[in-house]
Amino acid sequence: MIIAMAGHVDHGKTSLIRALTGIDTDRLPDEKARGMTIDLGFAHAVMPDGSTVGFVDVPGHERFLANMLAGVLAVDTALLVVAADDGPMPQTHEHLAILRLTGVPSVTAVLTKIDRVDPARIQAATEAVSQVLARAGYADAAIVPVSSYAGTGIEDLRAQIAAQGSARIAPPVDGRFRMAIDRAFTVAGAGLVLTGTIVAGRVSMGDRLLISPSRLAARVRGIQVHHQTADQAQAGDRCAMAIAGAGVEKARLRRGDWLVDPGLHAPTQRLDVLLRTTEERGLRHARRMHAHLGAVAIGAKVLVLGGEDLPPDREGFVNLTLDRPTAALFGDRIILRDDSSGRVVGGGRVVDPFSPSRRVRRERRMATLQALVRPSPADALAALLDTEGWIAPADFALSRNLDLERVVALSAGLHATRIGRSAQPILVTEAAREAIAQTLLTFLSDWHARHPDRLGPGKPALLAAAPSCPTEVCEAVLRSLLDQALIRQQDAVFHLLGHAPQLAETDQRLWDQLAPILDEAGLRSCRVRELAAALGQTPDETEALLVRLERFGRLLRIARNRFFLPEMVTRLGALAADLTRENEAAAFTAAEFNQRSGIGRNLTIEVLEFLDGLGVTQRVGELRHIVRPLDDVVG
């Protein structure tokens, strides 16, 4: 069980942890000199039943609220510390509001410094704290008076914590590993060490993980749970891990990065959140905010999905566009702070970590989020299918950190047809499938009528015919139409059955001359001027011919002066995929691609920029990663 300390500055949080655990969590020189917690501190204690409890000490001063938030967004419960001589103070209220807004289920109030006041003051402070707890929704919270210096009440508090631990339902260990990194430092003999609270899954010695969103590959070299060496750790544990990997160094890490199973690496910058505003402040539509997720604070533009301001103490869906990617998933706690004043505006949980960038009608999007917000995966799947007409189980599984097999099993009883590839199936209702299919068929029919001399459109133009349909769903329906032979594909274009445009006689004769030349050139292809010389034409005439041939799917234009046979582009895409599989970092450099292909540096850059433009590869620094298969783009 992980417990966060909360409360106003100088109310004795650090002293209380020292009394409970014997550990001083103030580790920074400035903290010891000033007698005030500035950054997160961590301690642990063994309870009478043998269980271990972890404590997260957080700053109480408002200037360090961002550090406080990094420590409370992945905890099980909290101790709200209030000094008997002061009573509830501004940060008491603010910290309690944060706990309530992020859904921390229980709170225990600790009345400290009782050795400094008389019994009447203790009683008055207890009543004041009780009222504050009740207003925040914690009316049943226990209030334990203590003196950290005299030891009074410490055993009672320890017993209360032990009782909470016994009643606690341990988080499920299923799901892939996730840990928000709140500290990174080096230790002689161990190397780079990362600490954090594991929020899902388990990790063992030797496991290969990724640091997200920077996609740095790491291997686990050592594990400690509450300062004890361990072979593995799991959800709910406070953990320190020694890691190693190419390019993994302290300077490249920041608080708020995530250490995750490679299958969970899915950086996102658009989130939909169910948010409740504070009692004092509402949320203005289209405002700049600081979003606190896991252990990170990121600037964000916040849109209220209803299109109007969200009043104080009101719940609603909001969309966040973050300034940089993070590794959020469904259910992650989030706090929003005003960009100018720094005050907490609201908090809640992530509903859709991969909010669509395309425009969706407000009513439809709200209905989708009402379906997604359901905590039960089975209920959410059924509601989502009724609302949208389709489900991508792989996307749903990723967003909730579930096994794909489990999601498919949960959807087995739903009235939907399974289409698409077995690794990424799509479940579509019959009504939705027929509507999408008819949209695609109608588009092709109209396109053939407008362009009788051309074979058909490419995949991007065809999929754009159904803008409200997610690409993966539309592609799955397209594959279904191909399987039913209602649509045919030739090279990179699609056409209806029976549509067979013919090249002009002159173009066909020139194509018969060009095809062997391009085939012999292989992966290097030929420049336009080289082909023009072979045909006895001007470069402009040859370029016009090549553009016409591209429309028929005979060629693909890679660069301004290069046209490739589709099968050569397929071979180049396969080379990129091979390099990705062979490299430990699951990426490759332009130099490696050039060496493997042998096509020369300049052409290598043109080919890779073409693949980047298609969305097949993505460049991050000097490395490129495969984002989607080439077949998904060019057929």
Whether residue 362 is found in the same domain as residue 342 = no
Task: Give residue 168's pLDDT.
Answer: 67
pLDDT in tens, 290-305: 998 877 889 999 999 9
Give 10-residue mean pLDDT values along the chain (635 residues): 83 86 62 44 76 72 49 74 92 86 88 94 95 92 93 91 74 83 85 89 95 93 89 89 90 87 95 93 91 87 91 95 94 88 89 88 91 95 92 92 90 82 81 93 93 85 86 86 92 87 84 93 91 94 92 87 92 92 89 93 93 88 87 65
Same domain, 55 and 150: yes
Q: Cα–Cα distances in Å, from 490 out to 88, 207, 241, 500, 566?
A: 73, 44, 52, 11, 10
Q: Is 596 domain-assigned? A: yes
141 and 186 together in one domain? no
**Burial (0-12, 13-18, 19+ Cβ within 10 Å), 93:** middle
Question: What span, in angstroms and rounded, lies between the C-alpha atoms of 91 and 70?
Answer: 16
Opening angle at CA 357, ends 468 and 215, nearest 5: 130
Within-domain flag for 172: no
Residues 320 and 251 in one domain: no
Give the count of domains, the chain. 5
Do the domain assignments include residue 55? yes
Residue 139 lies in a domain: yes
Structure tokens at 50: 């043998």
45 part of a folded domain: yes
The reply to whether 447 and 540 lie within a common domain is no
Sign of the C-alpha dihedral computed for residues 309, 315, 321 and 323 taken in this order:
positive
CATH of the domain at 114: 3.40.50.300
pLDDT the model gives residue 361: 82
* Domain annotation covers residue 610: yes
Q: Are residues 185 and 158 in the same domain?
A: no
Q: Is residue 519 part of a domain?
A: yes
Residues 153 and 38 in one domain: yes
Nearest alpha carbon to residue 236 among 361, 76, 120, 386: 76
Q: Which of 501, 536, 569 is the last residue of a domain?
A: 501
Question: What distance in Å separates the CA atoms of residue 44 and residue 54, rounded to the nearest whole number?
Answer: 4
pLDDT at 454: 80
Rounded Cα gap, residues 285 and 308, in angstroms? 6
CATH number at residue 308: 2.40.30.10
Distances (CA, A) of 510 to 115, 506, 553, 567: 99, 6, 15, 20
pLDDT at 209: 96
Q: Is 310 in the same domain as 418?
A: no
Residue 173 included in any domain: no
Dist. CA 197–CA 188, nearest whole Å: 23
CB-based contact 454:495 (threshold 8 Å): no
Whether residue 524 is found in the same domain as residue 581: yes
**Does 518 lie in the same domain as 397?**
no
Looking at residue 484, which CATH number applies to its domain? 1.10.10.10
Q: Of 336, 352, 368, which closes a domain? A: 352
Residue 47 CB burial class (10 angstroms; 0-12, 13-18, ≥19): middle
**To which residue do tokens 């410094």 refer?**
113
Same domain assignment for residues 140 and 52: yes
- Domain containing 199 equals 178-264
Residue where one domain finishes, among candidates 104, 135, 167 = 167
Residues 558 and 581 in one domain: yes
